[in-house]
């Protein structure tokens, strides 16, 4: 199986030893504590699960700036985005060398992790502006990722962490949430050698399904990991339990046994386009995948990024040799009325747009909301039914 990034073995930061875990939970109640942001909580969950291997904790400002500007930390290691714990007020932890980080997304703000504080630094407005521009490619406050990043405080608390909880993800999505460690183990148990990962924050329609089949066939993969984002999305996105049900139904009916695994991870969407595509590839390598599908406008939002910027960044900006995982570069896929099958649009040069079944997200939501199933060339009827039931429940 492909090696993790930066080490021979995955080093998750979650404390699995039961005695040590109980001891740390007791200690946490005696420590100065602070409730962190949702973005920082997502970072802690990802480090806990081994997805951000070999990071040992939250970055200091120098490392965060290095990640933003050149995807390289102070020690020369590779990481594509800053991983910060930003606070508005650090008075509760002033002078403390060891603190408890509390979860903002669960009632009662339970302890998520314990940190050994290495530094507390103020991030200047110019540093925030540089990180925002380099990671998100824009400083537009209407961009949901920019808004979320800049809504945090300006005090960066850095240091190694011991993760004690996986936030609400393990409780709310017990059948779907998986750590990178668990996914690696399951890949090994299934006997898969070449594995391609598919990222999604939406239900999968026929074009997505066929793209996965296409990638598996062309890459000679014996396994597919459908890996859905379970964290915070933007307003209007379909909730994770509905997406989960729709994707599971599709896999059950339209994939051979032992060929696809449905999993999810706890992280808030950044909508950072090209940079987020690199982050997605980073943690897919850590979870044991040899290949990763990057499609048109991957991890994008609005019209902030070019259609294929998330593919070209791997050729133009990612340091050579930083990643072993291979990228499967996909175009927009749609059903060809001429050929009666799903095609990548760039592979059908004799087609016009009218030769494809193309529906906008707005149009699909409108149809589903009115109890109208999209055409079979667009969506599997069993998937459409689950989505129609969801929209019906909103009325």
Catalytic residue numbers, as ranges: 201-202
Cβ 160 vs Cβ 11: under 8 Å: no
Phi and psi of 89, rounded to 5°?
Answer: -135, 125
C-beta of residue 32 within 8 angstroms of C-beta of residue 99: yes
On whether the CB atoms of residues 263 and 226 are closer than 8 A, the answer is yes
3-state SS, 221-249, equals CCEEEEEEECCCCCCCCCCHHHHHHHHHH
Cβ(168)–Cβ(107) under 8 Å?
no
Contacts of 327 (CB under 8 A, 6+ apart): 281, 291, 292, 294, 311, 314
Residue in the block written with tokens 């950072």: 272
Nearest of 235, 112, 91, 78 to residue 157 by alpha carbon: 91
Asked if 262 contacts 176 with a C-beta cutoff of 8 angstroms, the reply is yes
Question: Is the separation of the CB atoms in 302 and 141 below 8 Å?
Answer: no
């Amino acid at each position: 199986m492909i090696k993790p990034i930066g080490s021979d073995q995955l080093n998750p930061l979650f404390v699995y030893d039961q005695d040590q875990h109980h001891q740390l939970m007791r200690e946490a109640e005696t420590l100065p504590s602070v409730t962190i942001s949702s973005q920082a909580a997502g970072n802690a969950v990802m480090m806990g699960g081994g997805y951000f291997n070999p990071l040992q904790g939250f970055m200091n400002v120098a490392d965060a700036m290095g990640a933003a500007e050149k995807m390289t930390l102070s020690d020369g290691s590779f990481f594509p985005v800053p991983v910060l714990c930003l606070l508005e007020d650090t008075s509760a932890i002033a002078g403390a060398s060891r603190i408890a980080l509390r979860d903002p997304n669960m009632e009662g703000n339970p302890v998520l992790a314990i940190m050994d504080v290495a530094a507390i630094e103020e991030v200047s407005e110019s540093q925030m502006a540089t990180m925002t521009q380099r990671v998100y490619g824009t400083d537009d406050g209407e961009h949901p990722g920019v808004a979320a990043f800049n809504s945090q405080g300006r005090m960066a608390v850095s240091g190694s962490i011991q993760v004690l909880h996986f936030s609400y993800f393990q409780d709310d999505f017990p059948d779907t949430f998986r750590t990178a460690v668990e996914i690696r183990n399951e890949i090994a148990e299934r006997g898969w050698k070449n594995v391609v990962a598919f990222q999604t924050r939406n239900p999968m329609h026929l074009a997505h399904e066929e793209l996965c089949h296409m990638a598996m066939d062309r890459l000679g993969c014996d396994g597919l990991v459908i890996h859905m984002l379970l964290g915070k999305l933007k307003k209007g996105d379909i909730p994770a339990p509905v997406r989960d049900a729709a994707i599971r139904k599709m896999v059950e009916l339209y994939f051979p046994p032992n060929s696809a695994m449905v999993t999810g991870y706890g992280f808030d969407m950044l909508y950072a386009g090209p940079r987020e595509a690199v982050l997605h590839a980073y943690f897919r390598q850590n979870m044991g995948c040899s290949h990763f599908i990057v499609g048109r406008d991957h991890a994008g939002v609005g019209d902030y990024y070019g259609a294929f910027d998330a593919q070209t960044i791997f050729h133009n900006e990612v340091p050579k040799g930083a990643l072993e995982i291979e990228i499967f570069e996909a175009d927009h896929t749609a059903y060809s009325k001429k050929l009666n099958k799903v095609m990548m649009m760039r592979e059908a040069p004799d087609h016009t747009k009218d030769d494809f079944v193309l529906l906008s997200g707005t149009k699909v939501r409108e149809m589903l909301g009115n109890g109208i199933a999209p055409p079979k060339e667009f969506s599997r009827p069993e998937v459409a039914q689950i989505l129609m039931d969801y929209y019906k429940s909103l009325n």
